[in-house]
Amino acid sequence: MAIPIGLLILWLTGIGPLLAYRKTSHSSLRRNFTMPTVAGILAGPAFYALSDWALGGRPGPWPLISVMLCAFVVATIVQEFHAGARTRMRQHKELYPLALLNLTRRNNRRYGGYIVHLGIVLIFIGITGQAFTREVRGVVGKGESFQVGPYEMTMDGFRSHDDALYEGTTIDLIVTRNDRALYRLSPEKRFYKASEQPASEVAIARQLNHDIYVVFAGINEDGDKAVIQAYINPLVAWVWIGGIVMILGTLVSMLPALKPGQSEVR
């Protein structure tokens, strides 16, 4: 139930700016909704066609709807900024970049809110990526490899650590793609002496399109191989980027707006 409610909220985020208070007519609805609707419709097949290459799988109904709604909302935001900037260009004879800047400074709450909406879209994109998470369990000794999506992980050996706080065993994994070494990941398994509790220190390689997340789960019964849980989590970074964009939009909304007579950027 949470997924449909979340997508409904995302849709409302997009249609809100298109419904002018007490000024909505059939002609304005057609004009305002045409470009965002077309963008959303086109995003569906484009995402379906590219998802296997980009994310390692085909989307189900909910991820597909999510991406279409994200495209719809982004198109409404672009449309609102563009329409406002074009109006300022006609009225004040400004260049397009200056028109965008002065538009935002004059109407900071409105356009700061649109920036917040963009941050929400980016967060939804990051959440949508979780539908494509891949998990692989590998049991490997030194020099042995296992495959995780497009990556090959080769175990480079064990390292031990012992101090007053804990005993630990670390494994070193060389991550390659197309025979090119990309990362050296070193997850660790610890045993804390005071609490007599085990803990896992994960290793993460972060990228814009996905994170590689590796857990050292333990050692096999023979004591010569590491048991590893490896995950590819797509689009996680976009949740954080979306949060930053939301904060930026909030700050823009909180700035004092320019009043009539105050100077603008020329």
Instruction: Please tell me the distance from the alpha carbon of residue 227 to that of residue 235, in angstroms, as a whole number.
Output: 26
CA 170 to chain centre: 30
In 137-258, alpha helices (H): 236-254
pLDDT tens string, the chain, 266 residues long: the values are 788 999 999 999 988 888 765 566 777 778 888 999 999 999 999 999 999 888 888 999 999 999 999 999 999 999 999 999 999 999 888 899 999 998 898 889 999 999 999 999 999 999 999 999 999 999 999 999 999 999 999 999 999 988 889 999 999 999 999 989 999 999 999 999 888 899 999 999 999 999 999 999 988 888 889 999 999 999 999 999 999 999 999 999 998 876 655 555 55
Provide the pLDDT for residue 54.
86
Q: What are phi and psi of 204, to 5 degrees?
A: -130, 135
